[in-house]
């Protein structure tokens, strides 16, 4: 009898683990330590394939340490394919050619071409890491020190999400392959590697990896209060994860054609989510520059009785003073439409791109509420209808809200004293508001 009971308990435990492993996963990665640990572990554990696309990759510790892990994966037989933006790649070409020599396949998205000047503003902004067709990591973080609290001057406040979902990851992989196979938008990295550069390149990668390893304990120490314990972080979602991306192909006369322009599929999907909101809408957006369609969408939500709260940058926390100045000139209109604005006063710059709807839906992606994301850049977004996940994201919203000021108001007493860089940003925004911002605002 005892043996039968023990067998039944073991069987139930095994079934529970199996059912959990089969469910969708939407793990929020808010602090830099968790985000970097998950990213590195995914690449190191890859067996078959790593697909990576990013807007910015810097020739610094974070950028080079990621390249080192990717080169090691390629050397052990993993197929590694990378798409880098033509303007955002800030790694010397010699290093990229070294990666190519190590077996990493690299393509450049929208390489600078003065024969197509209208394409200059169409950038690869959707950041994705897809591993073995099983996991996908997306969000706002680029690959440089500022996104992982390792920059001495200014760091970003950002967020990513780890997704496990057959359909969502398949969609992400399909998006990557559409870009990879687009002969106009993506071109092969040209040039031959000089063997004389091998030692220097390897030295840069090794030293950067050691620096990042030494910084990991510090990142773990300074990260905010962990809202999600390990068991909750791997909890299957109540509903399937949804993933949306822009399309580059269309059907004409029975044939599939490729376009140089993106569609507005991501914008339409996110606006449908907002249109379905009943009570609350929390937005975290680095650049809150509403287009006509977004203004109309949010205004309609307010008229339905939806409480709309937005966390964005302040004059002291922004990384683009001209954008902040244009926003400052428009925020009166936003507030009259019923949008409650809160400007972040912390010691980092807001780079978040999230929505939390009715305490039921949580969305994380690369999409800013501005014209660039709506009409020009590639963007990706993922969301899930799950009250537990939405509560996690709302707790983060409330946490950051405590460090915000009302528009044009004073920062909370709990925020640190402004440093010289923050004071300089504030002066720039104040000057730009009444000089260049009225003109720039005509095209933004």
Average pLDDT over the chain, rounded to an integer: 90
Q: In this model, does residue 95 exceed pLDDT 70?
A: yes
Q: In this model, does residue 362 exceed pLDDT 60?
A: yes
> 263 falls in which pLDDT band (50, 70, 90)?
confident
- Residues 61/214, Cβ–Cβ less than 8 Å: no
Each residue of 211-222: pLDDT tens digit?
Answer: 999 999 999 988
Q: Which pLDDT value is given to residue 19? A: 39
SS percent in the chain: helix, strand, coil, step 5: 45, 20, 35
Structure tokens at 267: 């914008």
Q: What average pLDDT does range 301-327 have in this prediction? A: 96
Q: Which pLDDT value is given to residue 222? A: 85
Cα–Cα distance, 320 to 264 (Å, whole number): 25
Contacts of 76 (CB under 8 A, 6+ apart): none
Each residue of 272-306: pLDDT tens digit?
Answer: 999 999 999 999 999 999 999 999 999 999 999 99
Per CATH, the number for 22-222 is 3.30.870.10
> 389 falls in which pLDDT band (50, 70, 90)?
very high
Which residues of the chain are in CATH 3.30.870.10 domains? 22-222, 264-440
Q: Which pLDDT value is given to residue 407? A: 87
> 14 falls in which pLDDT band (50, 70, 90)?
very low
Continuous H helices in 140-234: 166-180, 198-222, 230-233
**More confident position, 165 or 259:** 165
Q: In this model, does residue 17 exceed pLDDT 50?
A: no
- Residues 172/162, Cβ–Cβ less than 8 Å: no
Q: In this model, does residue 337 exceed pLDDT 60?
A: yes
Q: Which pLDDT value is given to residue 21? A: 52
Q: What average pLDDT does range 326-336 have in this prediction? A: 96
Per CATH, the number for 264-440 is 3.30.870.10
Q: Which pLDDT value is given to residue 255? A: 59
Q: Which pLDDT value is given to residue 233? A: 74
Phi-psi region of 32 (alpha: psi -120 to 50; beta: other; left: phi over 0): alpha
Burial code (b: 16+ CB inside 10 Å, e: under 16) for 369-387 equals bbbbbbebbbbbbbbbbbe
Q: What average pLDDT does range 130-156 have in this prediction? A: 95
Instruction: Give me the percent of the chain exceeding a pLDDT of 90.
Output: 78
Taking the whole predicted model, whether its pTM rises above 0.85 is answered as yes
Kind of pairing between the strands at 255-258 and 249-252: antiparallel
């Amino acid at each position: 009898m005892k043996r039968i009971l023990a067998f039944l308990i073991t069987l139930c435990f095994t079934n529970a683990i199996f059912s959990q492993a089969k469910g969708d996963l939407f793990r929020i990665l808010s602090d830099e330590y968790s985000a970097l640990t998950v990213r590195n572990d995914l690449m190191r554990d890859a067996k078959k394939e790593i697909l990576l696309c990013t807007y910015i990759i810097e020739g610094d510790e974070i950028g080079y340490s990621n390249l080192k892990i990717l080169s090691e994966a390629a050397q052990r037989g993993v197929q590694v394919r990378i798409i880098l933006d033509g303007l955002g790649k800030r790694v010397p070409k010699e290093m990229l050619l070294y990666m190519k020599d190590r077996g990493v396949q690299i393509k450049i998205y929208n390489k600078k071409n003065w024969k197509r000047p209208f394409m200059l503003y169409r950038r690869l902004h959707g950041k994705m890491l897809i591993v073995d067709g099983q996991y996908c990591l997306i969000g706002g973080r680029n690959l440089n020190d500022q996104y992982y609290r390792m920059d001495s001057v200014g760091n970003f406040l950002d967020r990513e999400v780890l997704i496990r979902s057959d359909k969502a990851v398949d969609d992400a992989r399909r998006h990557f392959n559409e870009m990879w196979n687009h002969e106009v938008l993506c071109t092969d990295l040209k040039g031959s590697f000089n063997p004389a550069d091998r030692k220097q390149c390897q030295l840069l990668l090794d030293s950067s990896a050691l620096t990042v390893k030494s910084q990991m304990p510090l990142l773990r120490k300074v990260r905010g209060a962990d809202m999600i314990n390990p068991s909750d972080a791997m909890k299957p979602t109540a509903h399937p994860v949804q993933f949306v991306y822009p399309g580059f192909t269309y059907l004409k006369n029975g044939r599939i054609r490729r376009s140089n322009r993106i569609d507005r599929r991501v914008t339409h999907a996110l606006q449908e989510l907002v249109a379905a909101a009943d009570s609350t809408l929390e937005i975290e957006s680095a650049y809150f520059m509403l287009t006509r369609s977004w203004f109309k969408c949010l205004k309609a939500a307010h008229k339905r009785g939806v409480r709309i709260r937005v966390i964005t940058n302040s004059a002291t926390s922004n990384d683009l003073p001209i954008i902040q100045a244009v926003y400052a000139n428009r925020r009166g209109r936003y507030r009259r439409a019923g949008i409650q604005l809160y400007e972040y006063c912390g010691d980092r710059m807001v780079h978040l791109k999230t929505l939390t709807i009715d305490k039921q839906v949580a969305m994380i992606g690369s999409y800013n509420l501005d014209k660039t994301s709506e009409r020009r850049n590639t963007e990706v977004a993922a969301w899930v209808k799950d009250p537990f996940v939405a509560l996690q994201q709302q707790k983060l919203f409330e946490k950051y809200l405590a460090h915000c000021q009302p528009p044009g108001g004073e920062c909370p007493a709990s925020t640190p004293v402004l440093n010289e860089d923050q004071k300089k940003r504030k002066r720039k925004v104040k000057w730009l508001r009444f000089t260049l911002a009225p003109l720039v605002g005509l095209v933004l």
